[in-house]
Amino acid sequence: MCGIIGIISKEKWVSYDIYHSLLNLQHRGQDNAGIFTTDDQYIYLEKGKGLVSEIFNNVKLEQLKGRMGIGQVRYPTTVKKEDAQPFYIDLGGIAMAHNGNVYNETALRQRLKENRIYCDSDCDAETILKLFYYYFDKSRGTIIERCFNAAKLVMQKVDGSYSVVSVIRGAGFFAFRDPHGIRPFVFGKKMKGNNVNTYAFASESVAIEDIVDNIEHVKCGEGIFIDQNLKIYRKVLLKKNPQHCMFEWVYFSRSVSKLEGSSINHVRGNLGKELAKKYQQSPLYERLSNQKNKIIVAAIPETSRPASITFARQTKYQYKDILEKNRFIGRIFIKPNEKLRRSEIIYNVKVIEEVVKNKIVFLIDDSIVRGTTSKGIIKKIKSKGAKEVHLFSTCPPIVNPCYYGVNMPTKKELIAHNKTLKDIEEYTGADSITYITIDELASSIGLHASKLCLACLNGRYPTPLLNYIDKL
């Protein structure tokens, strides 16, 4: 999972806007970051390991000249893939960054190698770039036609998810999205009088809402070219059934963002409402009916807070903030390994003792993936004197790996895989666990389940996941 940004402007350098957009996307990746810009003569590239604010300063941003540029924050989903984006290739003068994951990367790189095209990093963004260049170089026609043709051929070969921003040196800006629209991708324009002054593309609306006037989503399988005069060319190149990642609404995206026309905050409130309905129809509700004054509802911050507040409002229980997470450590789920995730909980998540002591805590979480976070937090809450802790998840049980950009690569690491509800309760220490269903999740998002990627829940992957490619 990553965050991307791309801006082309008529009047001003874009480096500062890209920088601030990356800060607003920092929740999507905390390992690496990079910015590429270009003016009429030169290219400028700065990238490295760490947070956006650690890599860039005023001096570096001043050096990133030009009215057109792209940027990315990275959270590696595969071992060894630590290289920062964007990537640039002199042949063709193309810079590129993407959000997603290429499943058949090994086969693609082998075919590129057979054509004397080599990748020098462990990052799949370079694979997409080199493949795009291969087709771009072989295409004929205008730069725009060559971009559209190359992107369509990339879509026919790449198995996985990808939202792509690119700069075509001396020509314009180009973006495209995979045919299923698995990863989010939005764009908008800024008007000055009757003319467009700026176009901006990003993984989430929060990154560009202060740059543009209106925001819409890039269509599934669509390519968009914007020339240096800001004339826009749009074309759906290869469209398939939309399969938008449900985890964007559940966890990844910020509450202030909107995806596919749905407010993230509103969707998470809907999830809380659905959980409240399930609880009020359960034996647990009957058992605790005479202990209302002892029950408090709490969120595992920050993602599940809208659901928690709505849950409390529906059940008429008190909502309380009981956990304080060190705001400087970033998101626990996207830490690169289990050891780090456990240490973050031990050292950086604190429980407010006087709020939980002698209380029955209803703990709302966005999801239960490995169970590490849940187990550590429940243990801490009980150590501070809570009588019971009941865990509610706004996501159904995750039982299958993700191959499209979420760091859940194997079944064995998933707590719900091949385990009963009782097994999960015993592992986490919860007195009970309540999951939402797939239908309730889809209803809360406002899209039919057939329009969502639910592979980690039901094993139905939107792409073939084939590793064999005969030729380019």
pLDDT of 318 reads 97
Helix (H) or strand (E) holding 133, with range, is: helix 124-138
In a domain, 123, yes or no: yes
In a domain, 247, yes or no: no
CB hemisphere CA count around 338 (13 angstroms): 11
| CA distance linking residue 92 with residue 259, whole number of Å | 33
2 in active site? yes
Annotate 440-469 with b (16+ C-beta within 10 A) or e (fewer): bbbbbbebebebbbbbbbeeebbbeeeeee
Domain that residue 166 falls in: 2-242
- Asked if 32 and 171 sit in the same domain, the reply is yes
Number of structural domains in the chain: 2
- Asked if 353 and 231 sit in the same domain, the reply is no
pLDDT of 79 reads 47
Q: What φ, ψ does residue 299 adopt, rounded to 5°?
A: -105, 150
- Asked if 21 and 75 sit in the same domain, the reply is yes
- Asked if 283 and 191 sit in the same domain, the reply is no
Of 156, 121, 159, 151, the residue nearest 134 (C-alpha): 151
Of 295, 207, 303, 195, the residue nearest 248 (C-alpha): 303
Name the stretches of the chain with pLDDT < 70: 76-82, 327-347
| CA distance linking residue 323 with residue 302, whole number of Å | 10
- Asked if 207 and 155 sit in the same domain, the reply is yes
Residue 149: which CATH number?
3.60.20.10
pLDDT of 200 reads 98
pLDDT of 239 reads 87
Residue 392: which CATH number?
3.40.50.2020
- Asked if 230 and 273 sit in the same domain, the reply is no
- Asked if 186 and 285 sit in the same domain, the reply is no
pLDDT of 333 reads 47
Question: Of the residues 2, 123, 220, 453, which is catalytic?
Answer: 2
pLDDT of 408 reads 81
| CA distance linking residue 352 with residue 321, whole number of Å | 8
pLDDT of 334 reads 46
